[in-house]
Chain A
Amino acid sequence: MKGLADRHRLTPLALAGLSLAALVMVAPLLWTVALSLKSNAELMRDSGTAFSAPYTLENYRAILQGSQVFSWLLNSLIVSLGTTLGVLALCSLAGYGFARLEFPGRRALFVLVLLGLAVPEQAVILPRHQLFADLGLHNSYPGLILPGLAAPFGVFFMAQYFRGIPRELDEAALLDGASRWTLFWKVLLPLTWPAQATLGVFTFLASWNDYWWPLISATRSDRFTLTVGLASSQMNYAQTSGLGYLMAQAVFAALPILIVYALFQKQIVGAMAGAAAR
């Protein structure tokens, strides 16, 4: 019988296959980084020069010298963190409510929330734009954060997670004299940490990468998020005459994402595998 360690050992064929797959995945990233380290002029002649010296940081210097890039970075951080914290708070409370509280219309309301998954953003963008204009929310942090807080998947995800926690814990806490809030805050919520981490990482990534809504809502350059700001600073014909700069922008915008990924790798992989790592 094969032991566990044996079954986890890769055959040379599998190793070769996985290496090839990894290479395919990582090649565009390396290509991007390489291009970002070359001068625009050199790349205009031949992008193949990316494989050979000289390398330069001039594209990054150009980004950092752009007067507003740090305020865009800050905007992105505020919007992404605000959205993430808001989604975690709302989805946890709603998920707990749907999983544990008895109230009239609970099932219908849950279905209604789930129906939200079926509505594409494109279908609501015009009325939302109008609504935010009427409320004077464009070019503001709330204007950028609020739409992201409607997270039907998050509510569903948290409700399922709460449902998986044995009810005996609720009962033990009630017998221990805990109020509903104490039960939620001190007993159940700490147990949902893996789900919070997964949902939080995905919300942060989605919010950080969002381009469309900030493009519509933030029309003043001091309210741009990083994605919108960097795109706005591209000159015409950037693909040919400013390739290095373009790639440096991409790397710069992706850095925070890479950091988040490195920190929460376990949760992301767990979520991808269909189960939050408990």
Chain B
Amino acid sequence: MASLELIEVRKAYGAATVLDGVSLSMETREFLAFLGPSGSGKSTLLRVIAGLETADGGEVRLGGRRIDQLPPGDRGVAMVFQHYALYPHMSVRDNMAFGLRNAGVAKGEIGRRVLEAARVLEIEPELDRKPAQLSGGQRQRVAIGRAIVKQPQLFLLDEPLSNLDAALRMRTRVQLAELRNRVDAAFIMVTHDQAEAMTLADRVAVIHDRRIQQVGPPMEIYARPANVWVARFVGSPAMNVAPVELLDGESGRASVRLGDGSQVDTRVPRAGLAGAGPLQIGLRAESVRVTGAGAGTTDARVELVERLGDRTLVYARLSDGQALTGEDRGASRVQAGDIVGLHMEGAAAHLFAPDGSGRHPVESTA
């Protein structure tokens, strides 16, 4: 059964449209990430689901029940805020019990649920302390605890890890993964951090320009981006995208020529590409390998070298001025200013039609 359903949700602030007909369906117990840059509308969408913003149109359903007309407290959702939003004057215990008291839950039951959540989150010794006396990580866990005790159908997490330092973020990420295994609910997490989205979520909804650009499992989004924007947004460094010309040929696979004249034989089906207009090729850095000058698909001048330990990113420019990012494995000796060869793995190349939509290799190796 679908847990959450968004049907043509629209939201505008004055003349500025923020969400333009967003539709989405989620399974029970699914973990979905809203991934997008700042201002993409992902937080607004989360707030519409929570009831903190009113949609101008469309429907929000949870467990088959229409909830977009209900007040936030009656929707069966719980939210973990980016800055925790703990009540500063209440103890940890009261913070967690507040929602249950408002809902009229019996005192004994409140105590039981708070204790259980505190034990799971390892904040039992902190129950009688105030939020100001807690560390950032403890506050984060109290915020999660406050959501858990309500036993919601859907958890909404608004950038839950963004306020934590790197080490704590990793630990909390693991805790969130454990939590989702333990509770019988669906999760939506808003993030602009791909690593979070990719590691935690069953599916990722990439949001940009008021719309969901693509929804799918993390690896599918990485391997088969729906369009140029998704291709460049997901993955680090961003996918190389360059204008190409489709070459004539009898084979069913498209062969293309870059601006500097070099040819790449892709595994993207040729059908439908001829006569479509100007195409772009998409190649991830790991599919552009640095070799000796003259030994690759083409030669390029190195502009910048980033040594990351296990691999080295090489930012180079082709003779026609096209910038490409390639990868050199092992202990690279490449220097800025060198002329190197770039071997482009045609088998991993994507092509993008003039409307931006992606065509992918039939036996994807990316």
Pairwise interchain contact A177-B99, C-beta atoms closer than 8 A: yes
Pairwise interchain contact B78-A175, C-beta atoms closer than 8 A: yes
Chain A residue total in the interface (Cβ 8 A): 17
Q: How far is the CB of A96 from chain B (nearest CB, A)?
A: 16
Is B81 engaged at the interface, CB distance under 8 Å to the other chain?
A: yes
A176-B52 contact given A169-B87, A191-B88, A191-B89, CB 8 Å threshold: no
A172 to B86, CA, bound (A): 8
Can you list, as one digit per residue, whether each of B134-156 has a CB less than 8 Å from chain A (1) or not (0)?
A: 00000000000010001000000
**Residue on A nearest B50 in the bound complex, by CB:** A175
Can you list, as one digit per residue, whether each of B90-133 has a CB less than 8 Å from chain A (1) or not (0)?
A: 00000000110011000000000000000000000000000000
Is A120 engaged at the interface, CB distance under 8 Å to the other chain?
A: no
Q: Which of A148-174 contact B (CB under 8 A)?
A: 166, 168-169, 171-174
Residues of B within 8 A of A178 (CB): 73, 98, 102
Pairwise interchain contact A172-B89, C-beta atoms closer than 8 A: no
**Residue on B nearest A177 in the bound complex, by CB:** B73
A191 to B85, CA, bound (A): 13
Can you list, as one digit per residue, whether each of B65-83 has a CB less than 8 Å from chain A (1) or not (0)?
A: 0000001111001110111
Interface of A, secondary structure class, is helix
A172 to B146, CA, bound (A): 10
Number of A-B contacts (CB under 8 A): 59
Is A182 engaged at the interface, CB distance under 8 Å to the other chain?
A: yes
Chain B residue total in the interface (Cβ 8 A): 24
Which residue of B78, B79, B87, B99 has the most chain A CB atoms within 10 A of its CB atom? B87
**Residue on B nearest A187 in the bound complex, by CB:** B87
Q: Which of B315-341 contact A (CB under 8 A)?
A: none
Pairwise interchain contact A171-B73, C-beta atoms closer than 8 A: no
Pairwise interchain contact B89-A168, C-beta atoms closer than 8 A: no
**Residue on B nearest A183 in the bound complex, by CB:** B102
A175 to B150, CA, bound (A): 10
A175 to B87, CA, bound (A): 13
**Residue on A nearest B77 in the bound complex, by CB:** A175
CB pairs A–B below 8 angstroms (26 shown)? A168-B82, A168-B83, A169-B85, A169-B87, A171-B50, A171-B72, A171-B79, A171-B85, A172-B81, A172-B87, A173-B87, A173-B98, A174-B51, A174-B52, A174-B71, A175-B50, A175-B72, A175-B78, A175-B79, A176-B73, A176-B98, A176-B102, A176-B150, A178-B98, A179-B102, A182-B102
Other CB < 8 Å A-B pairs besides A172-B81, A176-B99, 4 of them?
A171-B52, A176-B146, A177-B103, A186-B98
